[in-house]
Copies of this chain bind each other. A is one copy, B any other.
Amino acid sequence: MLRIDFANCLSSRVGDHGLEPDLLVPGSELHAAAAALTRKLAATKGTGWERWRLLHENPTRAAHTDAVESVASRCRGEFDNLVVLGIGGSALGNIALQAALNPPTYNLLPRGLRPGPRMFVVDNVDPSCFGAVLRYCESSEGGLKRTLFNVISKSGETAETASQFMVIRDILKKSLGNNYKTNIVAITDPAKGTMRQICDAEGFTTLPVPDGVGGRFSVLSPVGLFSASMCGIDIDELLSGAADMDTLCSRPELHQNPASLIATLLVTLGTRKGKTNHVMMPYANALYLLADWYRQLWAESLGKKLDTSGNTVYAGFTPIKALGTTDQHSQVQLYREGPNDKAFALIEVESFDSSNPAVPGDLTIPSGLGVDAISYLEGKSMTALLNAEKRATEYALVESQRPNLTITFPKIDARHVGQFIYLWEMVTAYAGLMLGIDAYDQPAVETGKIATFGLMGRAGYQKHKDAVERALTPTPHVWNG
């Protein structure tokens, strides 16, 4: 089970920049507030946009894993390349699972060392990036015939994914003729919408984006599970990890409930101590892209404008991803001596033991160089160095009165990753309630979408194009050499 050490968030460690321990004990205001939210969340579980909280429970769980495994077991051996086309919540979870649970060399490994096809997630409409992946797939052994495209879009109208889909459909048809449809698996709304309509018309295999599960809460649905399963990740263990964490996050006591604890710490540090930037800093490369997944969850769920008795309040915190030890040589100078506006979630891994033949376990720093200045490293393990550096950073942050907590993974495996995902989803649910905002909408994204429609000439959106041009022209302030 994951563990959490939050001592460095308290005033006993970081003075006025931390919280008084009294704030958190039974009987305190924050303890009572958290307990009330735990009761509220127990009542709303599985309703409205909280249906993501059922993904690890039967019958949803069994229905999803059965459907995913049924498609994946058929496709896994048939394809050498898997290209995921999605963006935002239809990509970040897929990327995070792959980075966390498969080696960084995965795509380079020979098939014998790779449990599934090479995997590419193309979550942008950059033509060079998308084009390079397509060209690679075309030229790799077996070519497009051995390439599966996994299109993920609930509506099918997301401009990025729709345009990518239109490109690959055309290429596949030209290359494979009428057989092209076996090279597409779509994950979309099971009943309605543009992509559903296309899938029904063309006869693609589909998996569901379940009702009541928003994009950024969808990684443990088929949205994230299918590509993970294709690449040999144990999706059942992921869901068991979520179930572990659900049990813990239902406990009434603040200190016994990790989600209410972290949410209380981060929200209170944010609103009362000015720590409006929240840094997630794993000391493990594999977990860095989970910080990217968290970045969407935290930003898009909590960054909301509120009208409070006529006053506009801009709620939310800015999530920042960092990587230890790497960013000690890039960001820690700022983290210690720049504005004291940050709270940190450091992530530590106790053991890097591995049963994957492509990844050795821990490495020992060998003896024999015989140079005094660095001989202290000889015979030590690399994990020991990594974790000593993490502890040294924790100390350096405390010395500068920068509040931080540590989440410990006993090891990186699907079970613990599932725990971590569900933990932060629940932290987000708590934080939304604490801030008085709806964690499940994203109203501010609409303006840009509609303006794009206008600029791209979609019928009926001319006035939005005009509004953009009015707002951004004339542009006299251009520097051009």
> Is A191 engaged at the interface, CB distance under 8 Å to the other chain?
no
Chain B contacts for A451, CB-based, 8 A:
391-392, 395-396
> Is A134 engaged at the interface, CB distance under 8 Å to the other chain?
yes
Q: Report how many copies the assembly holds.
A: 2
Among A300, A315, A362, the one with the most B-chain Cβ atoms within 10 Å of its Cβ is A300
| Contact of B128 with A442 in the complex, beta carbons under 8 Å | no
Contacts A3-B481, A5-B475, A325-B124; A316 near B337 (Cβ below 8 A): yes
Nearest-neighbour CB distance to chain B for A287, whole angstroms, equals 9
Q: How many residues of A contact B (CB 8 A)?
A: 161
Residue of B194, B333, B395, B475 touching A472 (CB-CB under 8 A): B395
> Is A82 engaged at the interface, CB distance under 8 Å to the other chain?
no
| Contact of B331 with A316 in the complex, beta carbons under 8 Å | no
Residue of B286, B392, B393, B478 touching A126 (CB-CB under 8 A): B286
> Is A189 engaged at the interface, CB distance under 8 Å to the other chain?
no
Interface segment out of the listed A59-67, A87-95, A231-239: A87-95
Residue of B nearest to A124 (CB): B326
| Contact of A371 with B194 in the complex, beta carbons under 8 Å | yes
| Contact of B330 with A399 in the complex, beta carbons under 8 Å | no
> Is A123 engaged at the interface, CB distance under 8 Å to the other chain?
yes
Chain B contacts for A382, CB-based, 8 A:
125-127, 130, 163, 167
> Is A328 engaged at the interface, CB distance under 8 Å to the other chain?
yes
| Contact of A448 with B317 in the complex, beta carbons under 8 Å | no
Taking A92-B330, A126-B382, A163-B380 as given, write out 5 further A-B residue pairs in contact, using a Cβ cutoff of 8 Å, ordered by the A residue number.
Answer: A88-B328, A126-B284, A255-B479, A317-B339, A336-B447
Complex A-B: 27 CB contacts under 8 Å: A1-B481, A88-B328, A107-B108, A108-B108, A126-B284, A126-B352, A127-B352, A127-B386, A128-B284, A128-B285, A131-B354, A131-B360, A156-B374, A159-B385, A166-B378, A167-B382, A256-B479, A295-B331, A317-B339, A318-B341, A328-B445, A332-B448, A333-B442, A376-B453, A376-B457, A380-B457, A395-B448
